[in-house]
Homo-oligomer: A and B are copies of this chain.
Amino acid sequence: MNTGNIPKSTAHRISLYLRQAEAHRDQNRTTVSSEQLAKALGLTATQVRKDLAHFGQFGRPGVGYNCDDLIQRIKSILGTDQVRPVALVGCGNLGRALATYKGFERRGFRIAALFDNDLHKVGKRYGDFIVQDITKLYFVCQRDRIRMAILAVPAHAAQDVADQLVGTGVQGILNFAPVTLNVPPAVAVSTVALSMELEQLGLAVRSMQRDRQ
Contact = CB atoms under 8 A, between A and B. Distances in A.
Contacts of A192: 192, 194, 197
Contacts of A104: 194-195, 198
Nearest to A185: B208
Given A16-B180, A198-B148, A100 B93 contact: yes
A199 B78 contact: yes
A63 to B, nearest CB: 24
Interface residues of A, number: 66
Interface string A185-213: 01010101111111111111111111010
B109 A15 contact: no
A159 interface: no
Interface of A: 4, 6, 11-12, 14-16, 18-20, 40-42, 77-80, 84, 86, 92-94, 96-98, 100-101, 103-104, 106-109, 147-148, 150, 171-174, 178-180, 186, 188, 190, 192-210, 212
